[in-house]
Copies of this chain bind each other. A is one copy, B any other.
Amino acid sequence: MKKPHSSTLVLFITMLVFNFNALGQGDSPDPLPSWNSGRTKSAIIHYVSEVTNADSEYFIPIIDRVATFDNDGNLWSEKPAYFQLFFAIDRVKAMAHDHPEWKKEQPFKAVLEDDMEELIKQGEHGLLKLIMASHAGVTVEEFESIVKEWLATARHPRFNKPYNALVYQPMLELLNFLRDNDFKTYIVSGGGIEFMRPCVEGVYGIPRDQVVGSSGVMEFDYNNGKPVIRKLPEIDFINDKGGKPVGIYRFIGRKPVFASGNSDGDLQMMQYTASNKYKSFMLYVHHTDSEREWAYDRESHIGRLDKGLDEAQKHGWTVIDMKKDWKVIYPFELDK
A133 sits at the interface (CB 8 A): no
A208 sits at the interface (CB 8 A): yes
A191 sits at the interface (CB 8 A): no
Indicate whether A268 sits within 8 Å of B218 (C-beta atoms), given known contacts A209-B209, A246-B229.
no
Q: Which among A75-83, A110-118, A220-228 touches the partner chain? A: A220-228
Is the beta-carbon distance between A209 and B252 smaller than 8 angstroms?
Answer: yes
Indicate whether A209 sits within 8 Å of B246 (C-beta atoms), given known contacts A268-B222, A271-B227, A272-B227.
no
Is the beta-carbon distance between B253 and A211 smaller than 8 angstroms?
Answer: yes
26 residue pairs of the A-B complex, CB under 8 angstroms, read A63-B207, A140-B249, A193-B250, A193-B253, A197-B253, A208-B252, A208-B254, A209-B251, A211-B253, A215-B250, A219-B242, A219-B246, A220-B243, A220-B246, A220-B268, A221-B242, A222-B268, A222-B271, A226-B275, A227-B245, A227-B268, A227-B272, A227-B274, A229-B245, A229-B249, A251-B251
The complex is assembled from copies of this chain, and their number is 2
CA distance A215 to B218 in the complex (A): 16
CA distance A67 to B234 in the complex (A): 29
Which residues, 184 to 237 on A, are CB-close (under 8 Å) to B? 184, 193, 197, 207-211, 215, 218-222, 226-227, 229
**What residues of B have a CB within 8 angstroms of the CB of A218 in the complex?**
246, 249-250
